[in-house]
Chains A and B, each alone.
Chain A
């Protein structure tokens, strides 16, 4: 599963870059996850306004 690192410098991002999509999935996940929290807090706000 874990692939050997191929880039010149083994930086943090190069390490996350593990074959198909790992790096970009990781980044997308950290961007999207907090939106669930934003969604819930907004829902609460709307309900309390009711």
Chain B
């Protein structure tokens, strides 16, 4: 297993190099000039030229790419933002905890609420309760989150006045954003859990568990649920990885200075270093989350674990496999 993890971590290096080259090239060809944006439209041609020279923007593509990669992989630096002049890496680091809180708690809330709801719907399939909750979750899935965010602000911040409507000065500032972010997730997770569970609770091994005298609660949570988890993990992993890259709409509505807002601003300003840094950060966090997801698969399902181990250990005898695992 550790061999597999190591292999996956090593595999991230070519992925990140590839992403670095790709995003650099894309930004190179994207129309728009950061210098004009920095200096404004009133700047003279000469001023523009000096700044371009300073930033090294006059050099040919291949030289610029080379120095970008050198700076990135030898010094571990994304460079400075053209607009704020601050280090992009440091800026990402200060913004990261905010985005992490938002993403992590949203996904936890989606799972903690969505999974039991889905299970309930599945075990009461086709009852009125099931139909109503699936109808409500259908609405939940299709509701745009900016609209939901505004409704939550209206209710909790303006009408009831119990929660702040924007900012990030404490955990209470995150409650509404997390809710707005999680409701769609809850609905999605509940629907997926329901369909996945419906398939699993018809399986023979679930009857076997019942025939052993296992209580209904344990039949569902200990025998059926682990077998229904793979698609749920896939979905939640994808959502979590995506949200670690920033939730632009939520961050904007609630004025939370997270990664998403940073990336969008940087793109609008053609702030090359900031865009490249953010995209690499997103690629990195997404790779890490996907690795975690794959490890959770292996933890849940021994067949998947065997697959991972199978590739590298075909030649090793059984005793050694056990000692290693």
Q: Do A and B bind each other?
A: no
User: Interface residues, chain A, CB within 8 Å of chain B?
Assistant: none
